[in-house]
Structure 1
Amino acid sequence: MKNLLTTLGICLLSLMTLTISAAEEKKAEPQCPVSGKAISKDHSVSYKGAEVYFCCPKCPKAFEMDTKKYAAKANHQLVQTDQAKQVKCPITGRPDREDKAVTVNGVEVNFCCGNCLKAANEAEDKVVLLFNDKAFEKGFKVTE
């Protein structure tokens, strides 16, 4: 009986570990920068040498009318959809380190130092801090 309970406990612990690992590995789905809804590749706009995707035909028009308002979310989507890659720390523009990282809506962002990591962790809106146009220019590059 003791062996059975031990075996059941080990199986349950293994199952819980697998479930947690799968949840951690699941990447957040890209969202429309205008509405926050799921994207459709049927609705897109060329942006910074790549494509930003939207949920419906109305959102691209809103994006084009006020691109600056939606830039951070659009830049985040470019990285999330693998159209842009991180090349440096988005805060300083210095070389980034993998041991100084935070995940922002499914995108891992690396920093050059603990101070930048702390600033990111303390930010109320990490997307705006790390993917605004200035940060995007410093830390990311659209891939071809």
Structure 2
Amino acid sequence: MFKKISAFLAVALIAGVVVATEADTKKTVQCVVANKAADMSKSVDYKDGKVYFCCGGCAGKFAKSEKKFAVKANHQLVATKQYEQKLCPFSSKPADPAKATEVAGVKVAFCCDGCKGKVESTQGDEAKMKLVFTDAKFAKAFKKVAKKK
């Protein structure tokens, strides 16, 4: 009986941590148009995922000019764990987790210290995001997370 209760509590604890982590991630998501907290009920489909906005007006602006907001939208897809990194965004070689740095709150890994240094020597989150999350680099280095069955 004790083992069953312990197992149940362990499963409940793990489930709670997963839910809390997902909630924390979504709480910190920023609108890709306005620099405000995103409302998870305001979204549009983008690259087989969802991009979140602070209001319907920003969703409309994004729909009219996706290309203008692509860097921030690509970043948000990774920040919300809809996409994950597979390769170095510069070389398309396997990324080394030991050669990672944060880009606007998202951990990004590189193949070597040279590629990592390009980002670390760049000033400001916006400039760093433009190095890593352009459409071309995003297509090479990041892939959609497979849905759990």
Q: Tell me the TM-score range normalised by the shorter chain.
A: 0.7 to 0.9
Distance 1:63 1:122 in 2: 30
CA–CA distance in 2 between the matches of 1:123 and 1:105? 12
The two structures, once aligned, show a CA RMSD in angstroms of: 1.5
Match of 1:135 in 2: 137
Cα drift, residue 46 of structure 1: 0.2
2:67 maps to what in 1? 68
Secondary structure of residue in 1 paired with 2:108: strand
SS at 2:29's partner residue? coil
Moved over 3 A (4+): none
Q: Provide the rounded CA distance (Å) in 2 between the counterparts of 1:122 and 1:67.
A: 28
Contact kept? 1:92, 1:138, Cα under 8 Å? no
> Letter of the aligned partner of 1:127 in structure 2?
M
CA apart distance, 1:106: 1.5
Q: Flag the structure with more relative contact order, 1 or 2, with Cα contacts below 8 A and sequence separation at least 6.
A: 1
1:96 match? 95
* SS of equivalent residue, structure 2 residue 78: helix
1:59 equivalent to 2:54? Answer no
Q: Higher Cα Rg: structure 1 or 2?
A: 1
Matching of residues 1-144 of structure 1 within 5 Å: 29-124=28-123, 125-144=127-146
Listed as ranges, the gaps of 5+ residues in structure 2 are: 1-23
Identity over aligned pairs, percent: 42
Give the Å deviation of 1:123: 2.4
Which amino acid is 1:88 matched to?
L
Superimposed CA distance per residue, residues 90-127 of structure 1 (whole angstroms, 9 cap, x where no aligned partner): 11111000111111122100000111011111224111
Distance in 1 between residues matched to 2:45 and 2:107, nearest whole Å: 24
Structure 1 stretches of 5 or more lacking a match?
Answer: 1-25
Question: What TM-score results when the alignment is normalised by the length of structure 1?
Answer: 0.78
Matched pairs, number: 119
1:75 maps to a residue whose letter is N
